[in-house]
Structure 1
Amino acid sequence: MKSILPVIVFLVAFGSLFSQRNEDKHPLLTDRFLARAALFIPARTVQVGAEGNIPSNNLGDIDFDESFGIGGTQNTLNFDFIWRFSRNKFWSVRGQYFRVASEGGAVLEQDIEWQDYTFQAGSSATAGYGLSLYRIFFGRAISTGQKHELGGGLGIHGLNTYAFIEGEAFINDISTGFRRERVKGFLPLPNIGVWYIWAPTPKWAFSATVDWFGIKIGDYSGGLWNLSPGVTFQAFKNIGFSANYHYLNYYANVTQNSWNGSFDMTFKGPSFGVTANF
């Protein structure tokens, strides 16, 4: 929680410098720039697989939550912004960033195959993963009014992720000693999306955004869901407070030099933040 305080102080100080807006409408509908810093508390479900050069019939995605006890919730920061860059404010660019990372250890209940190595049941092993999300979205307002805005557009999610397992590893039942095997990759996923804002008063606004992408071509598949309903209370002229619920699911087959495998990651939970508008 302490890490978000400097950001909140900055937004309050920066937002107080700007005051021009339509007093009869909520700033989510009128202002050119809006930024939000929030504490995100997601529950996590993570499955990762990594294939090697030795053929195996037992490969599959590993449930990191069940195998290594990395489930539960985690506190992290979520940043997002809206910039209506056109003169009529119909066109906008939107961005989002957050990062999660976790690791844990356990005595394995069953063999785990990771790349060309086997971590055997009954041995101790540690595993971890990390994900950094970069979202850029270009959109246009389709319908606007005194109390609402509906829009849609195209964007891209950049997923920078890694995973590792470490412990005593075996190849064909022969120990190779203690090893740390790590995979990593960057995957850009395009998406289409829509948003809707309903502001019954200049103080209260309810919003929802939905991003989606899915594709399957031969052995390749990948996709995402990014949903975020929320409410914003405009406490001061340039400062507000918000509560949102996020559901984010990313999955893909990865065929890169540093990673040949797949992942399926889901993060869902509330976020509580402060907004600045001008």
Structure 2
Amino acid sequence: MSSRRKPRSNPKTRKAVVAALGLCASGAWAQGLVLPEQRVWLQVSAYRPNVDSRVRLDDTESVLQGTPLDGENDFGLARRKTVPAVLLGGRLSERWRAEFEYFSLNRSGSATTDGIRFGDGQFVADIDTQMRTRTYRLSAGYSFLKQADREAGVLVGAHVTDALLRVQGAAIVNGQPVGAFTERRSETVPAPTVGLYGSYRPGAGRWELNGRIDLFKLNIGDYDGRLVNLQANALYRVTPNVGVGLGWRYHDLRVDADARNFSGEIKYRMNGPQLFLQAGF
């Protein structure tokens, strides 16, 4: 009586089947068949802008205006610096969404001057300087276009900028020489904004192109201000919940104030690339 042995499966065959199934699954995911819509997302960015800043700080006790100064040339501040940023967003409903973002630019420098007026002092020698801005952005958006592979909407929100200016060195104050004098002023500037946003996912796959623009221009009371915030990004989903992206950002803020605690002018423009990591659920 003869018996037949069952054919043994070839290990190479098993590996080939597993690989084929894996390729099929990844191919289906790449075509967007299992790509979920994120309801909450967290984005951490490294922004590397070129910075151009101008500042003027007037005397608080008289009508004397300060010297218009270039932050990079007159203060010795760095023209390029990596700026970390954190963004948290979420969908409130099918078409409503909200975002909060924070980033800060803090630069210090040293320079030699033969006479500049900055606030209440006229600095005449070596100076140490600091210019710091902290920006908080909060916005709510409504998507008038909402499809599986594209979205577009309008934004309302606010940019709040907390600015600090400091100069230290030998100065003449009220006609008297002072060996070490520090002029330090800070101001918080709230700016209501309107804007647009949009995104497009080619083929409903792993890639997503998105962008936004926020605008503000207002003359009220002692303040005259303008803000333009513009960015365009490309995001690649490594997994359904994690993505990496690269983009370009432009941020332009101008404030002219004649208030009691701050009289002068702040202008700074940043533009450059940003690299970010995004996680969503």
What TM-score does the superposition give when structure 2 sets the normalisation length? 0.83
In structure 1, the partner of 2:118 is 114
Shift of 1:147: 1.6
In structure 1, the partner of 2:106 is 101
* In structure 1, distance between residues paired with 2:147 and 2:101: 26
* In structure 2, distance between residues paired with 1:54 and 1:247: 36
In structure 1, the partner of 2:8 is none
Shift of 1:185: 1.0
* In structure 2, distance between residues paired with 1:25 and 1:230: 23
AA in 1 matched with 2:141:
G
Structure 2 CA distance for partners of 1:60 and 1:68, relative to 1, 3 Å: closer
AA in 1 matched with 2:168:
E
AA in 2 matched with 1:147:
D
In structure 1, the partner of 2:241 is 238
In structure 1, the partner of 2:88 is 81
Deviation sequence 1:166-209 (CA, Å, 0-9, x none) = 11011365312211110001111000010010110320010110
* In structure 2, distance between residues paired with 1:79 and 1:238: 17
Asked whether the 8 Å contact 1:49–1:114 carries over to 2, the reply is: yes
Asked whether the 8 Å contact 1:157–1:188 carries over to 2, the reply is: yes
Q: How many matched pairs? A: 249
In structure 1, the partner of 2:155 is 153
Shift of 1:262: 1.8
AA in 1 matched with 2:255:
A
Matching of residues 12-51 of structure 1 within 5 Å:
23-24=32-33, 30-51=37-58
In structure 2, the partner of 1:213 is 216
Asked whether the 8 Å contact 2:222–2:259 carries over to 1, the reply is: no
AA in 2 matched with 1:113:
R
In structure 1, the partner of 2:198 is 196
* In structure 1, distance between residues paired with 2:147 and 2:227: 31
Higher relative contact order (CA 8 A, sep 6+): 1
Deviation sequence 1:221-255 (CA, Å, 0-9, x none) = 10101001000000112100011111111111234
Structure having the higher Rg: 2
Shift of 1:146: 2.6
Equivalent position to 1:261, from 251, 261, 264: 264
Asked whether the 8 Å contact 2:233–2:245 carries over to 1, the reply is: yes
Structure 2 CA distance for partners of 1:219 and 1:254, relative to 1, 3 Å: closer
Asked whether the 8 Å contact 2:49–2:81 carries over to 1, the reply is: yes
Indicate the percent of aligned positions where both proteins have the same amino acid: 21
In structure 2, the partner of 1:13 is none
Asked whether the 8 Å contact 1:192–1:213 carries over to 2, the reply is: yes
* In structure 2, distance between residues paired with 1:246 and 1:51: 31
Gaps of 5+ in 2: 1-30
Structure 2 CA distance for partners of 1:116 and 1:35, relative to 1, 3 Å: same
Worse overlay, 216-225 or 34-43: 216-225
SS in structure 2 opposite 1:264?
strand
Structure 2 CA distance for partners of 1:36 and 1:107, relative to 1, 3 Å: same
Asked whether the 8 Å contact 1:25–1:147 carries over to 2, the reply is: no
SS in structure 2 opposite 1:189?
strand
* In structure 1, distance between residues paired with 2:98 and 2:221: 33
SS in structure 2 opposite 1:132?
strand
Asked whether the 8 Å contact 2:222–2:257 carries over to 1, the reply is: no
Asked whether the 8 Å contact 1:26–1:199 carries over to 2, the reply is: no
In structure 2, the partner of 1:65 is 72
Gaps of 5+ in 1: 1-21
* In structure 1, distance between residues paired with 2:95 and 2:136: 23
